[in-house]
Amino acid sequence: MKALIVVDLQNDFVPGGSLAVPRGDEIIPLVNKIQEKFDLVVATQDWHPKNHLSFASNHPGKQIFDVIMLNGLEQVLWPDHCLQGEKGALLVKGFDDRRVEAIFRKGTDPSIDSYSGFFDNGRKKSTGLADYLGGRGVRQVYVCGLAAEFCVLYTALDAIELGFETYYLEDATRSLSQEGFKQAREQILQRGGKLLRSEEL
Ligand code: VGL
Ligand code: ZN
């Protein structure tokens, strides 16, 4: 069983959104097209309460993109994004979600961030995605979406660690920075994942 995980393809992460990934919207038609190659399609959704401590706005005196220590973990401070139920948090317009069988929401605990679709950044709480995929007999996981060096990367790294054969779809993602994308691809290879382009599917 092969599953496609569409990570955080949400309005706030495409141009016009509050944490826009440059050219993030370019992947929408590609993500639509490749779904037919998979037995199962699931999605993740970044889903923050207003008081989330990853928001710079909740740390007076701090700036967006400052890095702080938050409960023992390094935390980048982001602009407010993906507020629960608001437009920025909705799956992006144009994304064909008809075949998406389940959506896993993350980042709901105000005290900890959650880049991976599987666990929070402290690996304390699971979203249930691993059990869901296991229960559906999935062995191969293909990861796409936004942003390449954050939520897509950490979702893929957890998938590798959980024992899934893991493919990082390098043309069905976009990054906040070029350097971040390069480092993400290196980490995937170092940890035993594979890089794949969608035409190889
Ligand atoms: C993401 C930063 C903060 C992502 C989510 O989806 O990559 N990045 N929250
Ligand atoms: Zn977030």
Q: Which pLDDT belongs to residue 130?
A: 98
CB-neighbour burial class of residue 136 (10 A; exposed 0-12, middle 13-18, buried 19+): middle
Pairing of strands 165-173, 194-196: parallel
Which residue out of 78, 105, 127, 181 has the highest number of ligand 1 atoms within 8 Å of its CB and is therefore the one to mutate? 78
∠ CA 107-112-114, nearest 5°, is 40
pLDDT tier, 71 (very low <50, low <70, confident <90, very high otherwise): very high
pLDDT tier, 57 (very low <50, low <70, confident <90, very high otherwise): very high
Domains and CATH numbers, the chain: 2-49+86-200 (3.40.50.850)
Look up the pTM and report it: 0.98
Q: Which pLDDT belongs to residue 89?
A: 98
Task: Say yes or no: CB of residue 8 within 6 Å of ligand 1.
Answer: yes
Q: Which pLDDT belongs to residue 163?
A: 98
Q: Relative to the CA of 8, which ligand 1 atom is closest?
A: 6
Q: Please indicate whether residue 106 is annotated as part of the active site.
A: yes
Q: Which pLDDT belongs to residue 131?
A: 98
Pairing of strands 73-76, 100-106: unpaired
123-143: pLDDT as tens digits: 999 999 999 999 999 999 999
